Amino acid sequence: MKQRLIFSILCFGLISFRAASEIAQTCTSDQGTFRPNGTYDANRRLILASLPSNVTAQNGFLYNTSIGQEPNRVYGVGMCMPGSVQEDCSRCLKYASDWLIGSCPNQIAAYIWYIWSSDPKLCYVRYSNSSFSGSADLEPKYVVYFTADITSNLTEFKMIWEGLTLSMISATSASKNTPSSSNNHYKADVATFTKFQNIYAVMQCTPDSSNVDCDNCLRESVSDYQSCCGHKIGGYTMRPICFFRWQFYPFCNVFDNITILASPPPPTLEHPSLAVDQSNATKNAIVEIVVPIVVIFIIIIIVLVLLARRSAILCWRRKTYQEIGLDQSGMTNVRSIQFDLKTIEVATGKFARINKLGEGGFGEVFKGTLSNGIEVAVKRLSETSAQGAQEFKNEVVVAKLQHRNLVRLLGFCLEGEEKILVYEFVPNKSLDYFLF
């Protein structure tokens, strides 16, 4: 039962901290469908399968191609964000292509912005039966947001967020004259919100987009997000030719080389105490995350220690029973009870010399009084006793017998190196009954 409890706790920990890939794909239904397993389907699979190797072979992480003859010709494009590692880019494109095949089984056109979470990287895949090079397509669109709300400093946040997104739109839409590179229409930036929080954002347009089309696409995306989710703690929008994402923590490994600049001081608010509230909210959020994790690990450690201790005790008992030649079931059948060493030490005054009755070849005998007032004779077997363990075994076996000429064995103690027998003390009996 305890082992199952530990396994459940560990599984809970692992499940709590596991990240899933973030996927936003759109199957374009208004362009029609194709017959599965036909020529168009085969060409689509071929072009998607070719993207991982061909995109990574390009310095700009961008590849456009087409396969087949009309009317079954398929146009395709694959792209990874600037600074991608070839292996990560290839995997991201493969997963994105596989996802499109599975999610859009017979749609003639589809696109996907895919964030692969093993080593987060953003990639883009699109296919269609007509060329989309330099297109200004804004539909279909896709908006995703986190469900939690920004609970304080919302006015200040909106001002900083709007300033950041507007400056990023201008920078992203300005062409770098590298239409064959994914860096042509791309921007990642950070703005300071509070002492403990920054706003991280990424914008990207397809490299062959015109400056005007890129600007228009990003403005529409930012506007769509503001309309539905401006008070949320993060989200993203995607369209066929542009992508926008923001949140309060870094993502996609694109912010490492960006210097975080402080935002301009906001105008005086009607309630200045709001700035303090955000700081407290952040601290509370940190506590709410860290404390449960620490508690879980402490519980795991305590349970493991208890199990290890229990296992060690059982192991020691088995070893001791084996040493004296008596198995545990045999010991259980004896009607005597097992005393702990502390009880015996209290009864004999820690084996005080004044309570010593005598000494034999096996060891010493002490008189003692239990907590219930019963007087006992305590036989403490010596470690160097010639009789030793055999004496102990014989006494326990004899304890099963009931005879008027035998002194009754009340119990025993097996603890550490101690082997102790506890007899009923009969004042009128000769000391030989206890010594031999």
Residue 396 · residue 336 · CB < 8 Å: yes
Residue-wise burial string across 336-351, b where 16 or more C-beta atoms lie within 10 A, e elsewhere: beebeeeebbebbeeb
10 Å Cβ neighbour count for 252?
20
Give the Cα separation of 390 and 106 in Å (integer). Answer: 84
Give the Cα separation of 185 and 177 in Å (integer). Answer: 9
Give the Cα separation of 199 and 190 in Å (integer). Answer: 6
Entry field: residues in the chain? 436
Residue 71 · residue 129 · CB < 8 Å: yes
Residue 429 · residue 436 · CB < 8 Å: no
Give the Cα separation of 47 and 68 in Å (integer). Answer: 10
Which residue's entry shows tokens 């070893």? 319
Give the Cα separation of 108 and 34 in Å (integer). Answer: 6
Query: For the chain, percent helix, then strand, then coil, each to nearest 5?
Result: 40, 25, 35
Strand partners, 186: 204
Query: Which of 161, 186, 165 lies closest to 174, judged by CA?
Result: 186
**350 annotated among ligand-binding-site residues:** no
Query: Which of 168, 184, 164 lies closest to 176, judged by CA?
Result: 184
Give the Cα separation of 123 and 88 in Å (integer). Answer: 10
Instruction: HSE, CB side, 13 Å, CA atoms: give it for residue 102.
Output: 7
Which residue's entry shows tokens 């039962």? 1
Residue 379 · residue 351 · CB < 8 Å: no
10 Å Cβ neighbour count for 329?
8
Strand partners, 402: none
Give the Cα separation of 230 and 1 in Å (integer). Answer: 48
- Write down the number of H helices and E strands in the chain: 10, 16
Residue 29 · residue 107 · CB < 8 Å: yes
Residue list for the binding site: 379
Residue list for the binding site for ATP: 379
